[in-house]
Structure 1
Amino acid sequence: MEHLPKGPGIVIFHHSIILVGYTLFLTKVYREKGRLCHSVIDHGLYGIPGLKMFYDVILMRDFTKAECVEILKKGHLLGIAPGGAREAIFSNDYSLMWGNRTGFAQLALEAKVPIIPIFTQNSCETYRTIGKTRLTKWLYEKTRRVLLPIYGGFPVKLRTYIGEPIPYDPNITPTELAEKTKTALENLQDRHQKRPGNILRALSERFDKQYKDD
């Protein structure tokens, strides 16, 4: 928690299919620091009946860029998963599927705030998708509306690691900052995640003395 800046910042994370670790991160930050962290979500999630009110209550919305800047100017944290729905649906192995997205980096430079990478160990072992094929990937790219079957709910051991903030640098380009952020997040994954992921191993970590002591 000591890596969280006292002022505003953009929290960047890998998007697993169900964001258990990130949700617990939000609650811990509020409980221990009294700080609000807004989260950017895809507008398509509003199509799920009954959930819009829930999203609004926990500050998850399809914020515009101007709204994001205003949130940061007020001193809040802002969570963004650059991989979005594509990463959530098709990345069961912690791979970052950001493509050429640099919007979060442009936002950080405009608002003059740091970027904080975070990573939840075993996040892809809680829930997984099935049916990841060439056809479903093609359908997603064409429609942006593919939803694969989800299974899981496994009580694996989760730990969220907060990386060192990447400070605001007026001399860096958005592309360079995005790449720097990606490298920082991948370094967190390399240090704290055994790959390929394994559900049984993640479950066993609940009973490992070394992990329990942590």
Structure 2
Amino acid sequence: MDLDYMRWVLWLITPVIIVLLLPLIIMILLYGSALFLTIHKHRHRLYEVLESRDVWEGARCALASFWDAWGWLWHGYELEGLEKIPDRGSAMLVYYHGAIPVDFYYMAAKIILHKRRNMKVIGDRFLFKVPGWKLLMEVFNVIPGSQDSCVELLNQGELMGVSPGGVREAMFSDENYTILWGRRSGFAKVALRANAPVYPVFTMNVRETFRYLHIGFFKSLLKKFYDMYKLPLLPPYGNFPVYIKTFIGDPVPYNSDTSAEVLASEVSVIDVSIS
């Protein structure tokens, strides 16, 4: 190792360290302080749930406080329409799936903190195969969910979150927020069978936070691969600190004569227009 060369490199980058890295440390400390205070703001809820008999309730509330604070800090996250969600009784939230659904994490956190409700979330099956995520899926009620089990949960008065587009929409939608639900109307069949209200959910700018790397004509090949094997191979990139805001729309009106296809179509149209 050439020590003289290393000294020269250190001398060369010293101004960069002074100008960029040292102020960055102060910014990290300031933002860390703001994050702590935002979490501490929910301390009374944490005390309440820690005294409950549910061993995971306190953990959920603590993590919800963290995600709520992080959403505010990094994305200036706002949620409009939270008051529309009933405090009890069944309801289904149908949302557009961003590349990485951080908006859904933030919304779920606010529902836990302000509505005191634990949502049942229908997740893609590959999530349950990710090493180290099993407990996370269990505590936050992420389930694969057949139609029959979803109907049963709604009949029990549960709150449910579902993204019909799922991972396919996450990877292959675009900056125009194209809905990629195809013929998926299972959620509508479930809602009709359980006679549950359906709330469309959409987040402004969620596609500007994360995106997937698409390489020209390989995109169509990757689509075919995903449709065959249901494995997400595209690498995401981003986590840009852009402002995002979630809108919860009014329940979509329907009656006993409404078909699942019609209900699914109406939800998809409203989903990207409520913003």
Q: TM-score range by the shorter chain?
A: 0.7 to 0.9
Q: Contact 1:16 / 1:92 at 8 angstroms: preserved in 2?
A: no
Alignment of 1:125-136 (within 5 A): 125-131=208-214, 133-136=219-222
Alignment of 1:90-105 (within 5 A): 90-93=172-175, 94-105=177-188
Superposition misfits of 4+ residues, deviation over 4 angstroms: none
Aligned partner of 1:11 in structure 2 is 93
Tell me the amino acid that sits aligned with residue 180 of structure 2: M
Using the TM superposition, give the Cα deviation of residue 168 of structure 1 relative to its aligned residue in structure 2, in angstroms.
4.5
Tell me the amino acid that sits aligned with residue 223 of structure 2: K
Alignment of 1:185-196 (within 5 A): 185-188=271-274, 192=275
CA distance in 2, matches of 1:70, 1:35: 18
Q: In percent, how many aligned pairs have the same letter?
A: 35
Q: Contact 1:40 / 1:63 at 8 angstroms: preserved in 2?
A: yes
CA distance in 1, matches of 2:225, 2:146: 27
Using the TM superposition, give the Cα deviation of residue 70 of structure 1 relative to its aligned residue in structure 2, in angstroms.
2.2
Using the TM superposition, give the Cα deviation of residue 139 of structure 1 relative to its aligned residue in structure 2, in angstroms.
1.7
Q: Contact 2:155 / 2:194 at 8 angstroms: preserved in 1?
A: yes
* Deviation per residue, 1:54-82 (Å, 9 max, x gap): 11111111122222122212222101100
Aligned residue-pair number: 189
From 228, 237, 243, give the equivalent of 1:151: 237
Q: Secondary structure at the match of 2:201?
A: strand
Structure with a larger share of its residues in helix = 2
Q: Contact 1:4 / 1:165 at 8 angstroms: preserved in 2?
A: no
Determine if the alignment matches structure 1 residue 46 to structure 2 residue 128: yes
Q: Secondary structure at the match of 1:147?
A: coil
Aligned partner of 2:198 in structure 1 is 115
* Deviation per residue, 1:82-133 (Å, 9 max, x gap): 0011101111321110001110000000000110001111111111100252
Using the TM superposition, give the Cα deviation of residue 9 of structure 1 relative to its aligned residue in structure 2, in angstroms.
1.0
Alignment of 1:33-112 (within 5 A): 33-93=115-175, 94-112=177-195
Tell me the TM-score normalized by structure 2: 0.66
Q: Which runs of 5+ in 1 are unaligned?
A: 193-214
Tell me the amino acid that sits aligned with residue 27 of structure 1: A
Q: Contact 1:112 / 1:168 at 8 angstroms: preserved in 2?
A: no
Aligned partner of 1:164 in structure 2 is 250
CA distance in 2, matches of 1:168, 1:4: 18
Bigger RCO (CA 8 Å, 6+ sep):
1
Q: Secondary structure at the match of 1:54?
A: helix
Give the aligned CA root-mean-square deviation in angstroms: 1.4
CA distance in 2, matches of 1:157, 1:144: 31
Q: Secondary structure at the match of 1:92?
A: coil
CA distance in 2, matches of 1:5, 1:173: 25
Tell me the TM-score normalized by structure 1: 0.83
Q: Secondary structure at the match of 1:187?
A: coil
Range with bigger deviation, 177-186 or 139-148: 139-148
Aligned partner of 1:141 in structure 2 is 227
Aligned partner of 2:269 in structure 1 is 183
Aligned partner of 2:83 in structure 1 is 2
CA distance in 2, matches of 1:36, 1:146: 27
